[in-house]
Amino acid sequence: MGMNKQTGNMYAFVTHTWNPIRGKCPHDCSYCYMKVFNVGEFRFVPEELNTNLGDGNFIFVGSSTDMWVRQAQSFWLDQILTHCQQYNNRYLFQSKMPERFSGFVFPDNTILGTTLETNRLYDDGISKAPPVGHRVTWMKELILPKMISIEPIMDFDLDYFIDWIQQIAPEFVSIGADSKGHKLPEPNSDKVQTLVEELQKITTVKVKDNLSRLINQGVLGGKG
């Protein structure tokens, strides 16, 4: 498969995606965009280590599954990181199990991310991923630059949510909404607008186009 030029709805700020680990994600999130594809079992694809990653790109490594879950063997990850280090790029690695980031040597110009859909615990089958509070605990300990994805955004408690994100101290936060009608518990427009405005006081906020369903267009303008 090799490296893909980013043309979809993932992140506008990355130029490419690369997936040396593929298959059904153990988190089994109900809203995952990959569920419509027949992706097969979770696996490492060593042939991907022949991919020329080029230079001057911003590559999201592992965009199609969470490549940092327990099922991912450490020597797979070591080989992938070693390959990335051969090229002069910026890399995004994102996981709902950020504790796996510890102990690995990352390329220069790496940013580590996690997803925080909310600060609340929803236990109605939305996801098998570790609770959001668990992710926050581990993200706070990371030294490398960090980012947070709030997508798909679900209803939240404003003060708690902002406090969590402030403790993580991300370089930026990307906010997006459910695009496929999964009937998630969502916040109202005023609440989303307030969240954007408060986060802008502490970090850079990147608002995705799909958030327009939940927020007025005036707030979307110029948020990058």
User: How does pLDDT run across 40-74, given as a tens digit for each residue?
Assistant: 999 999 999 999 999 999 999 999 999 999 999 99
Query: Whole-model pTM?
Result: 0.93
- List Cβ neighbours of 91 (8 Å cut-off, separation of 6 or more): 58, 59, 60, 61, 84, 106, 107, 109, 110, 111
DSSP state letter for 116: -
Total Cβ atoms within 10 A of residue 35? 14
Return mean pLDDT, the chain.
Answer: 93
Domain count, the chain: 1
Task: Compute the distance between CA of residue 215 and CA of residue 203 in angstroms, rounded to an integer.
Answer: 19
10-29 average pLDDT score:
95
Q: What pLDDT score does 179 carry?
A: 84
Q: What pLDDT score does 216 carry?
A: 63
As a whole-number percent, the residues of the chain with pLDDT over 90 amount to: 83
As a whole-number percent, the residues of the chain with pLDDT over 70 amount to: 94
Q: What pLDDT score does 1 carry?
A: 73
Residue 7 has pLDDT above 80, yes or no: no
Q: Which domain holds residue 207?
A: 4-220
Contact status, residue 206 vs residue 174, Cβ threshold 8 Å: yes
Q: What pLDDT score does 219 carry?
A: 46
- What's the pLDDT band for 224 if we cut at 50, 70, 90? very low
**Alpha carbon 119 to chain centroid, angstroms:** 16
Contact status, residue 1 vs residue 31, Cβ threshold 8 Å: no
Phi first, then psi: give them for residue 5, nearest 5 degrees: -70, 135
Contact status, residue 77 vs residue 68, Cβ threshold 8 Å: yes
Q: What pLDDT score does 115 carry?
A: 98
Task: Compute the distance between CA of residue 149 and CA of residue 203 in angstroms, rounded to an integer.
Answer: 13
Q: CATH number of the domain that 99 lies in?
A: 3.20.20.70
113-167 pLDDT per residue, tens:
999 999 999 877 899 999 999 999 999 999 999 999 999 999 999 999 999 999 9
